[in-house]
Structure 1
Amino acid sequence: MATDIATRELRNPIDLVEYLFRRVYEVGVRTVHGVPGDYNLTALDYLPKCGLNWAGNCNELNAGYATDGYARVNGIGALVTTFGVGELSAINAIAGAYSEYVPIIHIVGQPNTRSQKDGKLLHHTLGNGDFNVFTRMNAEISCCVARLDDPHEAPTLIDNAIRECFIRSRPVLITLPTDVVMRKVEGERLKKPIDLTQPQNDAEKEDYVVEVVMKYLQQAKNPVILVDACAIRHRVLDEVHDFVQRSGLPTFVAPMGKGAVNETHRNYGGVYAGSGSNAGVREQVESSDLILSIGAIKSDFNTAGFTYRIGQLNAIDFHSNLVRVRYSEYPNIHMKGVLRKMIQRLGDLKLSAPEVPPLSNRLPDEEKHSTDKTITHKWFWPMIGQWLKENDIVITETGTANFGIWETRFPPGVTAISQVLWGSIGYSVGACQGAAAAAKEQNNRRTILFVGDGSFQLTVQELSTMIMNKLNPIIFVICNEGYTIERYIHGWNASYNDIQQWDFKGIPSVFGAGSQYKGYQVKSRAELTDLFADDTFCSAPYLQLVEVYMPKEDAPVAMRTTAEASAAQNRK
């Protein structure tokens, strides 16, 4: 009776799960990833009604990777798993999204609230009556947890969780017990969109920080800009673009910041990663008397084994929650407002910044004049830069591809996806499925994956999901006989770095691709050059997979440098 009375008091009663999914749609999600399970099945029935497509992944780990890739292209993603077995299968992917600031709304279908309260011995539990253990695990890798146990509180909790996910650019967990899925909530709230605006900085404090930063900038003789991943994740690329354009300062990106800057801009100088950088980039950045570092993540692989040579005395760091000027830190100041005010004051600068020599994906001289037919990394990655198109989505797997792409100069509008910090092998194949789904929603942008043969074997099932959803990425599998980056770190001839050789280009046919697929095998430079000249191949009309054969011992120079540093770190 109490429930009936409460429902009659609602002006526009709708089912709780419909409210949840309509909010998910409102923030831009169109494809939801995940795996069905008995605790989320009723909820999944509501997806079509709310305008949402179901990707239908092969397992939860892949679904988590796919949601990560989707979110990096779309701006936010949503994942649905079932209690215990499903959410724990996805937890590695969610941890990666947390570490790399990727906004994922993770919805977990749970047993009904009465069973949880009574501690019943249900399947998918540990058998000890503790129904909160998995939520506690997920809480460590979520910036907000919303337990939808009470329908009266649920809309507020949903709105807050989605806002936190977007603003803080990190995963959130929403638990959805089976007995609240169809409970009624107030639908009138949907008329007012969730407020996703960034909280404003304290005006007086922000003005002071801008004044301090501008003072050092005006005094600098050869300042440079260094852009990293959090500039992308915390949505300040418009400010970065305007700052680069207006200042005329030499601009570089860290590996995780690849794609954050228009690489055809005359200011752009390349990728800086300490000793992993090319000599010209390294000299210009490290000789600067002021580095304006925007959104830095100074992890080992992002700095080529902590080989940055940037002293804090010569640095100003801009972040989502603070600005650090030399050794002075100003907390609770978001970089967006500071950068915008700096742009407005750039007219006061009296800088004569040197132009950065243009890069054009030129082959190294030793490769340009080589008669060797073998495909090498030094040859391959500049050629990729010549082949890429404007607005492509480029995904690179942990290992040779992640480091090789440093030597590729992107056309305008390219989105780069890699998992440099978390570095979970196999991430890129799932991420490719999610990115391709988002690309299909964005006028079918071309999606391109570069993945090693070893990494590919971990998550190959997502080819099936791509085929089922009629996605059309171009996948390059680098065939070099196993885990190259691990070989360089330790165990060059160890059997644990070997893999079983597969017929990679034959796998999509096993998954039912039929005529909407074509596979290729290239073992020479001429074969790859011919493929790049094929208009049908380049137009990406359907899923295509290319086996690219490279020598086992070959690797990008930056990867070798980083692997040596990682090995040395492991020995300490």
Structure 2
Amino acid sequence: MSSQSLQAEVDRLRLQLHSLQTEDGSKPITISDYLLTRLEQLNVTKMFGVPGDFNLAFLDFVEDHPTIDWVGNANELNASYAADGYARTKGHSSIGVVLTTFGVGELSAINGIAGAFSEMVPVLHLVGVPSTVQQKTKPMLHHTLGDGRFDAYSKAFEHFTIAQGHIIDANSAAATIDRVLTQCITRARPTYLTLPTNLVWEKISSERLKIPLSRLSPPNDPDVEAFVVDEIAKIVEEAQDDVIILVDACAIRHDVRDEVKELIEKTGYPVYSAPMGKTAVSETHERYGGIYVGSITRPDILQKVENAKLILSIGSLKSDFNTGNFTYSIPISRTIEFHSDNTKVQFASFPAIGMKELLPLVTARLKPAARVAPVPHFTAVVPQEDNDVITHAWFWPRMGQFFQPKDVIVAETGTSSFGILDVPLPDESVFVSQILWGSIGWTVGSTLGAAFAARDIGLNRTILFIGDGSLQLTVQELSVMIRHGLSPIIFLLNNSGYTIERYLHGKERKYNDISNWEWTSLLRVLGDTDETRSKSYTVKTKDELSALLDTSSFADAGKIQLVEVMMPKLDAPRALVQQAALSGKTNSYEAS
């Protein structure tokens, strides 16, 4: 057992002891302040949400808190998206928090919470609920269903959160808060916590706050772990250095990027990533070879990955869009899978052997590769096209020249998330995209949260790529960005509707059309009335876009900027076209 794991176990036992005994001499603290102090200890600086009558008293505490700011969103769905983007960008150092009111508010946020669950993002959904007396007597309150089922909403959230907690009295409040937050940070999933109106001011002991919450998962069984390390070392040796590393989303979500980097540095094995694992490994690393997406992978990368004798798969999440519609051609007999809570060595499974502790032991055991396989540098060349139309084939490599180290790059589901896959991102950049859940419009709220997080931890610019159809769903959050002085650069891809849907089915159908907006007036309408805090542009040609990208005042991102990029209606990135063809066959859009 590592020293960190041992300390975590000690901390857990101390917390359990505190919950079973009365502490003397500790300063009383309100339940509200206890919760906010715990969030402060988790490096939370922003709380997203919408005020409602069941959370207003708690909001007084939030607004008066010295380090946690209330953001205030246009609606609860966008707020949940923002909490998600905040948590992703901050990484393992914090969580996202969204506050809603009972019933109408929390149900508006449920899609965003489900997305965070699907993609393993630690978000606390805090709900202000009726008093404990009202929950027992069940009057016909507003925001209820009118039938006395006060627990209907919390039951719904049991399906979309990893842990739920209901503060019901002063005696158990601290333990409930700690349990819910611990599950959130150790399992990288959203959790759900209710706070009744009559307990906001209730006083409890502050003693437990002296012990930080442990971020570490339960330790691996040392005997099983030793056996697994032996097996892995044996199989790697048999592969005779014909080994590649394939990283995916859970390497990011469960904080093993440093461990992966050490494994690469020690062994020298080539490393590739799945789409959801983009930026898990620096894309400027000399051993990084690009993105593997099953059958839609670039041919040179496909050959390198699928012909390897052994694949060390780290944190894989095998969804359809993440695997080229399940077209991975990697047999189990040639794969070792590392996950947060289990390990698979070919056909053998080892539950409760997590990669956080296992990977350093494997790295220490393996030898540097005697035969270092060449890894072609992952590049994106701007094509020389004989026209001035802004195509996806030209746009994305050109954008690759615009990116800078430590940029936060947010890509909406569809043309943007597929288009950027073949573009290497700079060192220490953060890629934010919702490839599994794929909720249209998610990136607008997520960009808000990401921009706050980037400011907190010293990252560079926040850059959003989004289609015209997607932006119309959640456009209100641009007003919140303006109000808080954030300065993302927003590239609006105006291609007259839902391009990804057109490629899936119905290229000329009306249901894939949208109303065109006057996009360059949007920021003025949404809050920058004197046009001093924002700037908008429309670019129609390659030369116009390149000239803008090369303008230092634009690239410096001193204010929020929106660039309307005019693109052909039926143009799409290579990977999207291929993925849509595969999905179309699976979904059987045409009658047989």
1:418 is aligned, of 406, 420, 433, to 433
Distance, in Å, in 2 between the alignment partners of 1:360 and 1:299 is 26
2:556 is aligned, of 510, 516, 539, to 539
Distance, in Å, in 2 between the alignment partners of 1:109 and 1:223 is 52
Q: Is 1:335–2:355 an aligned residue pair?
A: yes
Q: For 1:244, what is the secondary structure of its paired residue?
A: helix
Q: Is 1:394–2:409 an aligned residue pair?
A: yes
1:79–1:107 Cα contact (<8 Å) kept:
yes
Q: For 1:406, what is the secondary structure of its paired residue?
A: helix
Task: For residue 359 of structure 1, report the CA deviation from its aligned partner.
Answer: 2.5
**Where does residue 261 of structure 2 map in the other structure?**
241
Q: Is 1:131–2:150 an aligned residue pair?
A: yes
1:361–1:386 Cα contact (<8 Å) kept:
no
- 1:22-41 → structure 2 map (5 Å cutoff): 22-41=37-56
Task: For residue 242 of structure 1, report the CA deviation from its aligned partner.
Answer: 1.0
Deviation string 1:222-274 (CA, Å, 9 cap, x unpaired) is 21110000000000010011111221111100000011011111111100001
Ranges in structure 2 where 5+ consecutive residues have no aligned partner: 1-20
Distance, in Å, in 2 between the alignment partners of 1:171 and 1:453 is 29
Q: Is 1:311–2:326 an aligned residue pair?
A: no
2:102 is aligned, of 72, 75, 83, to 83
**Where does residue 454 of structure 2 map in the other structure?**
439
1:397–1:451 Cα contact (<8 Å) kept:
yes
Q: Is 1:117–2:133 an aligned residue pair?
A: no
**Where does residue 168 of structure 2 map in the other structure?**
149
Task: For residue 444 of structure 1, report the CA deviation from its aligned partner.
Answer: 5.4
**Where does residue 89 of structure 2 map in the other structure?**
73
Deviation string 1:380-432 (CA, Å, 9 cap, x unpaired) is 11111111000000000000001011111011001000000000000011100
2:270 is aligned, of 246, 250, 263, to 250
Task: For residue 146 of structure 1, report the CA deviation from its aligned partner.
Answer: 0.9
**Which letter maps to 1:71?**
A
- 1:461-500 → structure 2 map (5 Å cutoff): 461-500=476-515
Q: For 1:493, what is the secondary structure of its paired residue?
A: coil
Task: For residue 7 of structure 1, report the CA deviation from its aligned partner.
Answer: 11
1:29–1:74 Cα contact (<8 Å) kept:
no
Distance, in Å, in 1 between the alignment partners of 2:413 and 2:305 is 25
Deviation string 1:50-71 (CA, Å, 9 cap, x unpaired) is 5210111000000000000000
Inter-CA distance 263–109: structure 2 relative to 1 (3 Å threshold): same
TM-score, length of structure 2 as denominator length: 0.93
2:408–2:459 Cα contact (<8 Å) kept:
no
- 1:90-239 → structure 2 map (5 Å cutoff): 90-221=109-240, 222-239=242-259
Ranges in structure 1 where 5+ consecutive residues have no aligned partner: 1-5
Q: Is 1:428–2:447 an aligned residue pair?
A: no
**Where does residue 30 of structure 2 map in the other structure?**
15
Deviation string 1:22-71 (CA, Å, 9 cap, x unpaired) is 10111011001000000000001111325210111000000000000000
1:166–1:196 Cα contact (<8 Å) kept:
yes
**Where does residue 3 of structure 1 map in the other structure?**
none
**Which letter maps to 1:557?**
R
Task: For residue 443 of structure 1, report the CA deviation from its aligned partner.
Answer: 2.8
**Which letter maps to 1:234?**
H
Inter-CA distance 20–233: structure 2 relative to 1 (3 Å threshold): same
2:299 is aligned, of 264, 276, 279, to 279
**Which letter maps to 1:484?**
T
Task: For residue 198 of structure 1, report the CA deviation from its aligned partner.
Answer: 3.0
Q: Which of 375-384 and 8-17 deviates more? A: 8-17
Distance, in Å, in 2 between the alignment partners of 1:276 and 1:244 is 25
Q: For 2:327, what is the secondary structure of its paired residue?
A: coil
**Where does residue 270 of structure 1 map in the other structure?**
290
Distance, in Å, in 2 between the alignment partners of 1:107 and 1:69 is 17
Deviation string 1:479-519 (CA, Å, 9 cap, x unpaired) is 10100111111111110100000111211100122301000
Q: How many residues align?
A: 562
Task: For residue 358 of structure 1, report the CA deviation from its aligned partner.
Answer: 1.0
**Where does residue 289 of structure 1 map in the other structure?**
309
Task: For residue 186 of structure 1, report the CA deviation from its aligned partner.
Answer: 0.6
**Where does residue 68 of structure 2 map in the other structure?**
52
Inter-CA distance 7–352: structure 2 relative to 1 (3 Å threshold): closer
2:85–2:449 Cα contact (<8 Å) kept:
yes
Distance, in Å, in 1 between the alignment partners of 2:414 and 2:395 is 15
Q: For 2:401, what is the secondary structure of its paired residue?
A: helix
Distance, in Å, in 2 between the alignment partners of 1:85 and 1:17 is 22
Q: For 1:303, what is the secondary structure of its paired residue?
A: coil
1:266–1:355 Cα contact (<8 Å) kept:
no
Structure 1 segments of 4+ aligned residues over 4 angstroms from their partners:
6-10
**Where does residue 541 of structure 2 map in the other structure?**
524
Distance, in Å, in 1 between the alignment partners of 2:148 and 2:23 is 35
Q: Is 1:299–2:319 an aligned residue pair?
A: yes
Inter-CA distance 517–313: structure 2 relative to 1 (3 Å threshold): same
Distance, in Å, in 2 between the alignment partners of 1:228 and 1:7 is 46
Task: For residue 351 of structure 1, report the CA deviation from its aligned partner.
Answer: 3.5
2:322–2:435 Cα contact (<8 Å) kept:
yes
Q: Identical aligned pairs, as a percentage? A: 46
TM-score, length of structure 1 as denominator length: 0.96
Deviation string 1:328-365 (CA, Å, 9 cap, x unpaired) is 10000101111111111223x554131201123222xx
2:98–2:124 Cα contact (<8 Å) kept:
yes
Distance, in Å, in 2 between the alignment partners of 1:175 and 1:412 is 40
